[in-house]
Amino acid sequence: MDRLHSNFMTRRWVPHLWGLLTPAVTLVSLWLGGVWMATTLVLLLGIYPFLELILGESSSTDPLQEGRAHNIIAHLHAWFVPVVLLALFWRISLDGLTVFTTMGFLSAGLSNGASGIVAAHELGHRRPKSFSWLSARMTLFCVLYLHFTTEHNHTHHKHWARDVDPTSSPWGRGIYYHVLQTLPRQVKGAFKARPVDTRNSLLIEIAFLLALGFAGWPYLVAFLGQAAVAIYLLEFVNYIQHHGLTRAMDERPNASHAWESRRRLSRWTLLELPLHPSHHLRSSTSYERLTVHDESPQLPAGYYGMFWLALLPPLFGKLMLQKHQSSVSE
């Protein structure tokens, strides 16, 4: 029995392979073309929210496990992003901009948003200029968000759950207004933290957009479309992770200042991103070693379910407030 348990524990990375299904399905759908290009939309927005409920929750963690396989999975997520983008450009070169290729770039945006978020978030905390860090930067370039590494590491991790943090949302703020106000504030924060790096990042992105424009407007529209979807997903995640949880400037952070979800599907496919409090308490900890915190408020649903709830601000606000009140009273 001990040997069986040991073998199982050494393979805790296997469920995290599930997350790679998203870019894999997206690539196949772009290759097949036509209505198949809506497959990722159906999978992530239609099937996963229900599957998330069926699979339930798990508090199981192993902060001492070996992470080589987990590290490979994180890098695969990163390198799937440019591959999906190139596949999208290939499909555009064949079909142009149609209803079906519009579904294609929306699907690519979901895939690049999901893989890009987990890769940039995980690998962006690695040593600057290392292969892992550069891989994170590459994923962000593919979705026009190079400044994220600077803003996230130097502003958000310093001020999370404070009013001055542009990514933390107060009670009553809807997702639509939050996205509109957080985007310019994050660029401003990145400029303040690393002005030269941020300026160079923006110039690189502008140059790439100009090159795409010369290549043809369908490429530019498809690229901007998938980037917009990916950016929205990233900011949606920021929005729910600290919503309504605030601390004073002189208050030390703790696990109660970030929302947690223990839904298996979200944890497996998003590389433990829902265990966000643990990440904030020690950002250098790799995702497979994150732990749960009982003092953290629990989201009403997993990340896939929260996507739909966030689109309905009154319902979202009501459920979040109820969950927070119940966590405080316990």
In this predicted model, what pLDDT tens digit does every residue of 236-245 receive, in sequence order?
Answer: 999 999 999 9
Task: Give the lowest-confidence range in 38-52, 275-289, 295-309.
Answer: 275-289
Tokens linked to 129:
């200029």
- Give the mean model confidence (pLDDT) for residues 193-219: 96
Q: How many CB atoms lie within 10 A of CB 18?
A: 15
Q: How far apart are CA 221 and CA 244, in angstroms?
A: 35
- Give the mean model confidence (pLDDT) for residues 95-111: 97
Per-residue pLDDT tens digits for 271-289: 999 999 999 998 888 999 9
Dihedral sign of CA atoms 168, 170, 174, 179 in order: negative
Per-residue pLDDT tens digits for 154-191: 999 999 999 999 999 999 999 999 999 999 999 999 99
Q: How many CB atoms lie within 10 A of CB 78?
A: 26
With a CB cutoff of 8 Å and minimum separation 6, the contacts of 326 are none
Number of domains in the chain: 1
pLDDT at 328: 73
Is 29 a residue whose pLDDT tops 90?
yes
Q: Is 256 contained in some domain?
A: yes
Say which residue the tokens 């690229």 belong to: 223
Q: How far apart are CA 234 and CA 142, in angstroms?
A: 13
Is 6 a residue whose pLDDT tops 80?
no
pLDDT at 12: 84
Per-residue pLDDT tens digits for 126-158: 999 999 999 999 999 999 999 999 999 999 999
Question: pLDDT category, 7, cuts 50, 70, 90?
Answer: very low
Q: Is 10 contained in some domain?
A: no
Tokens linked to 130:
């290392």
pLDDT at 5: 35
- Give the mean model confidence (pLDDT) for residues 215-222: 96
Name the DSSP class of 299: P
Q: Is 7 contained in some domain?
A: no
Q: How far apart are CA 106 and CA 101, in angstroms?
A: 8
- Residue 110: which of 170, 179, 25 has the closest Cα? 25
Tokens linked to 135:
């891989």
Segments in the chain forming alpha helices (H): 2-9, 21-32, 39-41, 48-55, 68-95, 99-123, 131-141, 148-151, 157-159, 175-193, 195-215, 217-241, 264-269, 276-281, 303-310, 313-329
Is 9 a residue whose pLDDT tops 80?
no
Tokens linked to 192:
């303040």
Say which residue the tokens 């316990």 belong to: 330
- Give the mean model confidence (pLDDT) for residues 65-85: 92
Q: How far apart are CA 288 and CA 16, in angstroms?
A: 9
pLDDT at 330: 64
- Give the mean model confidence (pLDDT) for residues 289-297: 94
pLDDT at 10: 53
Q: How many CB atoms lie within 10 A of CB 190?
A: 26
- Residue 117: which of 266, 290, 271, 228 has the closest Cα? 271
- Residue 105: which of 86, 77, 80, 79 has the closest Cα? 86
pLDDT at 65: 73
Strand-pairing partners, residue 258, are: none
- Give the mean model confidence (pLDDT) for residues 79-93: 98
- Residue 99: which of 222, 239, 211, 274 has the closest Cα? 222
Q: Is 13 contained in some domain?
A: no
With a CB cutoff of 8 Å and minimum separation 6, the contacts of 291 are 61, 63, 275, 278
Q: Is 287 contained in some domain?
A: yes
In the chain the first and final C-alpha atoms are separated, in Å, by 37
- Cα Rg of the chain, angstroms: 19
Tokens linked to 41:
């939309």
Tell me the residue type at 283.
S
Domain that holds residue 240: 18-52+68-329
Tokens linked to 185:
């504030």
Q: Is 167 contained in some domain?
A: yes
| Average pLDDT, rounded, for the chain | 93
pLDDT at 117: 85
Q: Is 161 contained in some domain?
A: yes
